[in-house]
Chain A
Amino acid sequence: GNSVTQMEGPVTLSEEAFLTINCTYTATGYPSLFWYVQYPGEGLQLLLKATKADDKGSNKGFEATYRKETTSFHLEKGSVQVSDSAVYFCALRGTNTGNQFYFGTGTSLTVIP
């Protein structure tokens, strides 16, 4: 079946530090992969996506590359800001499972000045 395993948090970084949040997945076929972010008091927002192997999704300085050989979609940012403090969710949409998304457990990130 489909599942997502995400790096456990919480993660605390100093401003301008490098961020990596690991995400690996299990799926049949060729899923689409996503990172969602939830800022305090808000809903989940799509941060970036990749729909096929070797695609790189990017947005707001964040990047993630769809690696089929390692079944991974790690989120990275070169220099985090205080405003990046949020909960980050890795998710996949399977090829034969309708439109439902499969999410990881979420990783809470706190960036301190």
Chain B
Amino acid sequence: EAGVTQFPSHSVIEKGQTVTLRCDPISGHDNLYWYRRVMGKEIKFLLHFVKESKQDESGMPNNRFLAERTGGTYSTLKVQPAELEDSGVYFCASSPGTARAYEQYFGPGTRLTVT
């Protein structure tokens, strides 16, 4: 079974540019999560999809971040325009249905560097 995959593994952009991160969850997982680790600090929750619907987006830092999950499969996280403080590692995770929702499987992360 393929794990959670993320693309790209590393992105370097200039301040003001746009970047789109992609996450492909484990097949059949309804739940998809985005997290972020900034500057070696704790990993923080950004948002949670159940299929194509946003269940919880309380962790999204501001309106420069837009997450989508069209069709309930892969998800994208767009940052527009990027700021220096957006640099960090963005993790995606997926989990099965409600009864096993605590079993979150993480991808390798996308390292975003904004210069």
Interface of A with B (CB < 8 Å)? 4, 32, 34, 36, 41-46, 49, 51, 89, 91, 93, 98-106
Query: Whole-angstrom distance from the CB of B104 to the nearest CB of chain A?
Result: 6
Does chain A have a CB within 8 A of B14?
no
CA distance A36 to B106 in the complex (A): 10
Q: Which residues from A are CB-within-8-Å of B37?
A: 106
B91 — which chain A residues lie within 8 A by C-beta? 43-44
B48 close to A99 (CB less than 8 A): yes
Complex Cα distance A36/B33, Å?
Answer: 16
A43 touches B41 (CB 8 A): no
A103: chain B residues at CB < 8 Å are 35, 42-44
Which residues of B are found within 8 Å of A45, using beta-carbon distances? 106
A94 to B27, CA, bound (A): 26
Name the residue in A4, A44, A102 with the highest tally of chain B Cβ atoms < 10 Å from its Cβ: A44
Q: Which of these, A36, A99, A105, contacts B31 with CB under 8 Å? A: A99
A56-B87 Cα distance, complex, nearest whole Å: 37
- Whether B106 and A49, one on each chain, are in contact in the complex, defined by CB atoms closer than 8 angstroms, is no
CA distance A105 to B101 in the complex (A): 23
Residue of A nearest to B101 (CB): A99
What is the CB-to-nearest-CB distance from B42 to chain A, in angstroms, rounded to a whole number? 5
Contact, CB under 8 Å: B108 / A100 = no
Would you call A101 and B108 a contact (CB within 8 A)? Answer: no
Max chain B C-beta neighbours (<10 A), residue from A49, A103, A106: A103
Across the interface, B40 reaches (CB within 8 A) one of A49, A99, A102, A106, namely: A106
Given contacts A32-B102, A43-B106, contact A99 B95 (CB under 8 A): yes
Q: How far is the CB of B109 from chain A (nearest CB, A)?
A: 6
A36 to B59, CA, bound (A): 21
Q: Per a CB cutoff under 8 Å, which of B55, B93, B101, B108 touches A41?
A: B108
The 6 A-B residue pairs with the shortest CB-CB distance, nearest first, are: A44-B106, A103-B43, A100-B45, A43-B108, A43-B106, A99-B101
B3 and A100 within 8 A (CB): no
